[in-house]
Chains A and B, each alone.
Chain A
Amino acid sequence: MRANTPSVTVIGFGEAGSSLCIGWNRRGVRSFDIKQTNPNLKAAKCAEMHDQGVDAAEDIGAAVDGADLIFSTVTADQAFAAASSAAPRLKPGAFFFDLNSCAPSTKQKSAAVIEAAGGRYVDIAVMATITPDYHHTPMLICGDHSTTALAALQALDMAPKLVPGPVGRASTIKMVRSVLVKGIEALTAECFWAASKAGVVDEVAASLDASQTDMGWKEQAHYNAERMTTHGIRRAAEMREVHKTLLILASPRT
């Protein structure tokens, strides 16, 4: 490898981490995944890395040791632990790209640990499912180092959008967006699970299809706000009845 080619490490080799590696299609990427600490899962995880031309590191320290660009793609609840474990072995000035879907406060905590260790922390929010577009998935970046980080990411054929503001700004956008994205996902499952239990799937689907509008989300929120302030009390009462219905559908049949 040429001396001026940055070394890349991916912490966490799940869907996001492996998708980045597939997209980059680059030799010499190192990775460590927490599953390697489980003797029953280690071989399969290392084989997965090997199949993608990724070098499996023995531990997180070995993974980040000497790396220029570190991508953290663990799970939200492990993001701070990953940053804390990586920090002692960071190369001075190494970029630590935190792609995890965390609250802004968690990202700020991780940033403090990375910066204290001499690294450069960058908040990245992944704004769509990563599998179709891999490293080209829409992303937002922010923080003190975002301008120089942008150049490093562009060198990896990535094209994140820079969001002005401190660490946490990008993740705030992601978190607030997720109120709807993850909320609707869960509500859809809840609605159609109940419809299925009640044997009314086609009727519910047809009624929902007929109610679909072409409004954008801001326009929809504008409309909904008026409906809620005018009718919120009785709508909340209906929602409590919905909840009762769901509980009855969920209870075992006697």
Chain B
Amino acid sequence: MTSGTIDRQQQFGELAISLVDLDSFEARFAAIEAAVEAEKN
């Protein structure tokens, strides 16, 4: 298990977003991408 894999798990958890109501793969990953971008800015 690499530190990069653990860090990715931590990063997704720290995004503090809920994907429960997003039904499609595309919507979930778009939400993740938006949250990652928002964190950068």
Question: Which residues of chain A have a CB within 8 Å of any CB of chain B?
Answer: 183, 187, 190, 218-219, 221-222, 225-226, 228-236, 239-240, 242-243, 246
Contact = CB atoms under 8 A, between A and B. Distances in A.
Contacts of B10: 232-233, 236
Interface of B: 1, 5-7, 9-15, 17-20, 22, 24-25, 28-29, 32
Contacts of A228: 9, 12-13
Nearest to A235: B9
Q: Could you tell me the dominant secondary structure of chain A's interface residues?
A: helix
B17 A239 contact: no
A235 B28 CA distance: 19
Contacts of B28: 222, 225-226
Contacts, number: 61
Given A229-B12, A231-B13, A239 B20 contact: no
Given A221-B25, A222-B25, A242 B1 contact: yes
Nearest to B27: A222
Contacts of A233: 10, 13-14
8 contacts: A225-B12, A225-B29, A229-B17, A229-B19, A233-B10, A234-B13, A243-B1, A246-B1
Q: Could you tell me the dominant secondary structure of chain B's interface residues?
A: helix
A236 B6 contact: yes
Given A221-B25, A239-B6, A239-B9, A229 B1 contact: no
A229 B25 contact: no
Contacts of A229: 12-13, 15, 17-19, 32
Contacts of A190: 1
A-B pairs, 4 with minimum CB distance: A232-B13, A233-B13, A236-B10, A228-B12
Given A222-B28, A239-B5, 11 more contacts: A225-B12, A225-B32, A229-B12, A229-B19, A232-B9, A233-B10, A236-B9, A236-B13, A239-B6, A243-B1, A243-B6
Given A226-B19, A226-B28, A232 B1 contact: no
Contacts of A225: 12, 19, 28-29, 32
A16 B39 CA distance: 44
B14 A232 contact: yes
A142 to B, nearest CB: 24
Nearest to A231: B13
A119 B13 CA distance: 49
